[in-house]
Chain A
Amino acid sequence: MRILITGMGGELGTRVANLLEADPTFTEIIGIDSYPPRRRTTRADFRRVDPRDRRKAVHLVRDFDPEVILHLGIYEPNARFDPTEARLGTAASAVAVLGAARSCPSLKGIVVRSGIEVYGRRRGAPSRPDEQAAVDPTTPFGLSMAYVEQVAIEAGQLAGVPVTSLRCGPIVGPSVPSPLGRYLRLPVVAVSPFAELPFCLLHQEDAALAVVAAGLGGHDGPLNVVGPGAVTASQAVLRGGRLPIPTIGPGWLLAAAAAELLGAPLPAHTRELLVRGGVADGALAAEVLGLSPRPTDDVVAQLYQWATVAHITPAARGAAA
């Protein structure tokens, strides 16, 4: 099976490529992104393509003629790019790659990385939406992903193939560049203990497994991929041994500015998650993809675990060689 991965330079894209490399079903793997993969790949062929370079991306997709497209080129604001660059990159990547999909005669399916942010957290919105809930994003990141889903559905209709939109919970992990992860790991963290609602998380490895399973599955429609259970921001901060600072109203502007100074900018969707919460019903995804993501409690625990660094002395290095 020939498979194309967009956003292969990201943590999720690289891990998905590694998982695909281990499966002989996937005979040819090509990945594109504007940055190289974050880990070594063996069989996957990486091509450096700027998502805004539509002409190059379209040629590459047409020439490769993939059977499955895994569109992971979704750039979270303040993860690796500033919010404007992330929004423009996400939109350009979707239009270029998914737009070219209809001219791929061998195409059998499209998988898109989306997020539960597409449901939005407007006042009165369902607390734990399932896939039937209306898409009503309330943040720029949610809007970006809703747009990508729409482009993918259109491309799927034109190509006559199923489109799986994986609406992932916030993906965090010890090595994922995530504004939420960075913020929660600050030594002092602003929270709203009297107004906050719980949120769920998704471990980076479960997100990668879900993408691979969706690539093989051919499900047509959205799937919520979330870790079971939920925590509030205060709980997460306390579990991490950080100091929570109760904050209300305009205090959040000050908190966001302070967090940015400390290297953990707080984009709108993360601020919304911390106060308004964000969970989703992941039962359908568990059934369709056959996955059991790690509980949110475990993901929080891992977020605060720092891997031990093994210092290798020059002598030891020589011995190892």
Chain B
Amino acid sequence: MSPVTLDYLGRRAHGAYDIDEWGLDPELVALANPLLALRWDIEVTGADRLPAVGGAVLVFNRRFGVSEPWVVARGVRQACGRFVRTVGAPDVAPIGPFLRRFGGVLDRTDEIAGLLRAGQLVGLPMSRDLRRRDRVGRLEVGRLEAALATGSPVVPVALVGRESGRAWRIVVGEPIAPPVGGGPLASAELAEATRHGVQAILDDALPSSWWG
């Protein structure tokens, strides 16, 4: 066993590692990295549009929704070194606590707002669209209320890839500043702009020919 591995095991055995208040275990994520690299090969375009510090909501499309949260989290970490807290972890043991160790969080507006106030990147999946690969799913009006409440930017992110394949592509769009003031109209406007933003990136990212 290498000294690095021994050191790692020693730290785990003595509880000398960090877990954040939502349950993320960065050391465990680092340990799982080689395994995740075997499963997904990710290319990220437009990573410079991701904020280097501070909170932001990354809204991404998904099809089946199994790989996408992992792909976004791993891709963003690869590109800018920041962790993504993906919304949608169930609050049921043992799956809930397990997903939280890798950055999963509950789907609650106050939970997302707390993360944004703490300067975290939050990954928010749109609803599934199983039939068409080229269309993004719905984005309910109320889902970006936390971004509105905290004044955090919303970043549209498009994912292109297949569950059955290794290769995935992430395209990061221009951040959208939330409209000033709250209310249902501002919320609807932001959701529409974000959905349109993800769709536009996806239209550009998908191959233009059946043979591409």
Chain A residues in the interface with B (C-beta under 8 A): 123-130, 132-133, 192, 194-198, 200, 229-232, 234-239, 275, 277, 279, 281, 283
Contacts and interface: CB of A to CB of B under 8 A. Distances in A.
Interface string B98-111: 10100001101011
Contacts of B15: 231, 234-239
B64 to A, nearest CB: 24
Closest 7 CB pairs of A and B: A238-B15, A195-B93, A235-B15, A239-B15, A194-B94, A279-B21, A230-B21
A128 B114 contact: yes
Given A124-B91, A128-B21, A129-B114, 5 more contacts: A130-B114, A197-B23, A198-B19, A239-B15, A277-B23
A194 B98 contact: yes
A123 B91 contact: yes
Interface in B1-57: 13-23
Q: Is the interface of A mostly helix, strand, loop or mixed?
A: loop
Contacts of A123: 91-92
A21 B17 CA distance: 40
A234 B14 CA distance: 10
Nearest to B13: A238
A126 B114 contact: yes
26 contacts: A123-B91, A123-B92, A124-B91, A124-B106, A124-B108, A125-B91, A126-B111, A127-B105, A128-B22, A128-B111, A132-B110, A192-B93, A194-B94, A194-B98, A196-B97, A197-B23, A198-B21, A230-B19, A230-B20, A231-B15, A236-B15, A238-B14, A239-B14, A239-B16, A275-B93, A277-B23
A126 B23 contact: no
Given A126-B108, A192-B93, A194-B93, A283 B117 contact: yes
Interface of B: 13-23, 91-94, 97-98, 100, 105-106, 108, 110-111, 114, 117
A127 B19 contact: no
A279 to B, nearest CB: 4
A236 B16 CA distance: 9
B113 to A, nearest CB: 8
A127 B21 contact: yes
B111 A127 contact: yes
Contacts of A192: 93
Nearest to A226: B21
A229 B20 CA distance: 6
A194 B117 CA distance: 29
A249 to B, nearest CB: 10
Contacts of B20: 198, 229-230
Nearest to A241: B14
Of A129, A198, A237, A281, the most chain B CB neighbours within 10 A belong to A198
A235 B19 CA distance: 9
A195 B99 CA distance: 11
A111 B64 CA distance: 52
Contacts of A195: 93-94, 97
